Amino acid sequence: MLPTIEMQADAVVMIDQRKLPAQEIYVHCKTANEVARAIKTMVIRGAPAIGVAAAMGIALGMRRSKVSGTKQFAIDFTRLCEVMAETRPTAVNLFWAIERMKRTFSSAVLSGQSVEELKVRLDVEAQAIHDEDLASCQAMGQWGAEIVPEHARILTHCNAGALATAGYGTALGVIRAAAAQGKVQKVFADETRPFMQGARLTAWELVRDHIPTTVITDSMAGPLMRDGQIDLVVVGADRIAANGDFANKIGTYTVATMAKAHGVPFYVAAPLSTIDMKTPNGQSIPIEQRSAREVTHLGAIQLTPDGASVWNPSFDVTPHALVTGIITERGILRAPYHDSLRALFAE
Ligand code: MRU
């Protein structure tokens, strides 16, 4: 299993995803601010992994606090939660994890726990968020493998793998589980401009797992579908709205539209922590704009002339009408998503 992120005694340690696949370097974040910076600068990325990192960052920050009174400790805790919430706006897992840490904190304070006890409680909760995400991915994989046909040629976009989660992955979890059942002939990984999560990270994970992998540029998926070379698409999500619309890496909408046009089943794999029942539809999902440099440059190489402006939304929204099914750790949801999502949360 890939070590995406780990909480150690004096640091939150994560593999530097900006450096992969050329270098496998681990970053030791010794403060909560360093964790926040790591999320912002994409040392760690992917919706569930961002949530885990934020929880661990909060736990680390509070563990290192020298404050002895509960009142000041609570003020510092609230401030840290705010710092984490400002890192990236689209992946709801971030806000879900922060809310969970807040609930844990409040109930521990209400039961009269000391500062030292609160520190332990936050550590335990952050680790639980990590462990539960891993278990969710594995469960999702088992459900998702059921819809993968024999000899499947699967397309995925971005990286929804072990690196984007506590381990195993959402979309790549489905692919891993299906591959373990001998069902996967080949995976097509969209390179995923501009940050290249598909070419760099998805391909790296799949090659390590000996799953046959072909990297394509994003514009090649359409002709492959037209030529009958793709049996199934499975992607992750950063936020699923209450009606089933979802945000994922820029380019997902194009893939979903192509899949619909060519009759290719299009699945989204995501844990419940990615589902935001408070967001009614895709139009209400905040979309992060990232720096122009991600588009104008590839590493140190400038690709565009000085003076050209850039539009760089990190995500797009795919309408629910293009989604064949949503694979969760509790099973596969089908349309109408407004009803199936509501039923899932009513359970
Ligand atoms: O900008 P990123 O790399 O954080 O975007 C990641 C994605 O869009 C993933 O597909 C999504 O978070 C699902 S990860 C299981």
Binned at pLDDT 50, 70 and 90, residue 3 comes out as: confident
Residue 238 annotated among the catalytic residues of the structure: yes
Label residue 223 exposed, middle or buried (CB < 10 Å: 0-12, 13-18, 19+). Answer: exposed
Please indicate whether residue 170, judged by its CB atom, sits closer than 6 Å to ligand 1.
yes
Ligand 1 centre distance from Cα of residue 45 (Å): 6
Please, which residues have CB within 8 angstroms of residue 106's CB and are 6 or more apart in sequence? none
Mean pLDDT of the chain: 97
Please indicate whether residue 203, judged by its CB atom, sits closer than 6 Å to ligand 1.
no
Portions of the chain given CATH number 1.20.120.420: 5-138
Please indicate whether residue 314, judged by its CB atom, sits closer than 6 Å to ligand 1.
yes
For residue 218, give both structure tokens: 């994003």
What CATH superfamily is the domain 141-346? Translation initiation factor eif-2b; domain 2 (3.40.50.10470)
Asked if residue 276 has pLDDT above 60, the reply is yes
pLDDT tens digits for range 114-171: 999 999 999 999 999 999 999 999 999 999 999 999 999 999 999 999 999 999 999 9
Exactly one of 123, 190, 231, 238 is catalytic; name it: 238
pLDDT of 347 reads 82
Query: In the chain, where does DSSP find H-type helix?
Result: 32-40, 47-63, 70-85, 92-110, 115-145, 171-180, 203-208, 221-226, 252-261, 293-296, 337-346
Asked if residue 96 has pLDDT above 90, the reply is yes
| CATH number given to 5-138 | 1.20.120.420
